[in-house]
Structure 1
Amino acid sequence: MENRPAPQGPEGCLTVAIRIPVRIVVLVLVVPVRLIRDLLATGAEALRRVVLAPLWRALAVIPFGWLYASVLTPLGHATAWLGRVVGAGVGWLGRGVVWGAVTFVGVPAAWVYRAVLAPLGRGVSLLAEGIGLGLRWVSWAVFVWPPVTLWRWVLAPLLRYGLVVPGAWLYRCVLTPAGHAIALIVALAGAGLAAVGRGVAALIVLLFVVPAVWAYRTLLTPLGRAVGVVLREIGDAIGHAWRIAGFVSRAVGRALKRLAWNLLGRPGRWVYAVLLTPVGHWVREAVLRPARKAALAAGRSAREALASARETVRTARRDAWRALVGGPPREPAGHRARTLGSTTTASGAVPAPEISLSKAEG
């Protein structure tokens, strides 16, 4: 079965008389507001896309990206390397301190505890236990037994037959009948006050509540319904006017978009396709690519010159060593186990022997 809308009741004359004038007035007031709002929203979006986004990218994103990639990242890597080196040193130092503390302090202290302090503590504990047992017996004989005997044979009988038994007789024979009489008097007084209260409440209802209910049903309810109808029609009229204004605004926007495309977009696209694109291609082929090739060639030349200079320095160092010592120099072979400025040990590598060149020559 299809879901059909529930049938609505017949509308009153007041609703029909108010609806059309209110909708006309609201439509006249809402359409300019909607047009101005859509125009401002479109202008703000265009300003964000055309001006603010490129400006933000040029002033913030690109500089901070370069700063992060070129400055902060190498600085962070250097800081991390330094932290690893310092951490390794601190770890070796901490292990040495712990070994010294265990060897020179912990082991003697454990021996002293096992051989001296533990037997001495057990003896002191046994002695203290014997003394405590004697003190408990003395305390019982001096402080506990006399008060207990006095309470059991003297104070308890005196309190029972001197206070408890007479108090119970007084409560049962005197206070209980008096309480019953007082309760009966209070109940009668409460019934009388309740009757007086019911009479006063009936009088208040007759003088105030009944007229108020009559005024609410006869005057306020019809007035409230009329005000509700007016407010509801105003709200419906505002909703219809806002939707109509949206249709009008979209139509005006499409017309302005088509006009802007015919006046600016097509000529701009033609200028970009016919003029700027060939000029850009020519600049790329005739200027940028030769400049890039020249820069790459200059870089290769500089690297070759640096390599030649290093080889020259290495040859001069070998010649100087040969002239001073009289034989070919024996440079220590490079090991993976130790590197300059690092204490990292490669897995499976044997540490290089720490022997000077003079000892190796001898």
Structure 2
Amino acid sequence: MAPLRWLGRTLVVAPAAWLWRNVLAPAGRGIGVAVVWLVWYLVVVPAQWLRTYVLAPLGRGLGRLLRGLGAVLGALVRWIVVVPAVALWRYALGPAGRALAAVVTVVVRETGAALGHCWRAAGIISRALCRFLAAVLRWTLVEPVRWVYRRVLTPVGQVIRDGLWRPVRQALRAARETVRQTRREIRRALFGAPREPEPARAVVPRREPGGSGARTLGKTSGRDVSPPARG
């Protein structure tokens, strides 16, 4: 294995390292410097020149042109749209609107006043009409009904009460009393007279014997005491 390693280093590695150090590396550095030089002078320098002498002046010109167009358009819009609109509002629409508002205010106020007068007049007319209808109703209905009640119905009611209803009530009361008596008589005839309740016996308080006097039957302290009579 050692002879193979020595042979590989001698025949492959050493020549490859010499080739890289002495040929490829210097050639790569030269190629890199050449590429950088070419890029700088073929790309960067023309791009800087183009930006400095073409694009920047063109951009500044376009900016000035756009600012000028904007100013022109603004002036046109101001003098064609804004100023006429302001003048129209200030000298035509504003006064017309104020006049219209004043007219509407006057019309609304006068209309409200007229409606108020009409409402008050309608109230007066409705109150007068209600009073008239109330008077008509009173004299055509209430007063006749009241007169009929006082002059006709009340006397008739009194006559009916005194001449008919009161005798009928008395007759009904007498008939009920007669029926009760008849029932009592029938009950007495069938079952006999009910027993009268016995009177309660008088309660004589007991007296305790006292002193030297002797208690005798039927006599107490010289007075006769008789037993209570039975009813």
TM-score (norm 2): 0.37
Query: Quick one: higher RCO (CA 8 Å, sep 6+), 1 or 2?
Result: 1
Q: Which has the larger helix fraction?
A: 1
Greater C-alpha radius of gyration: 2
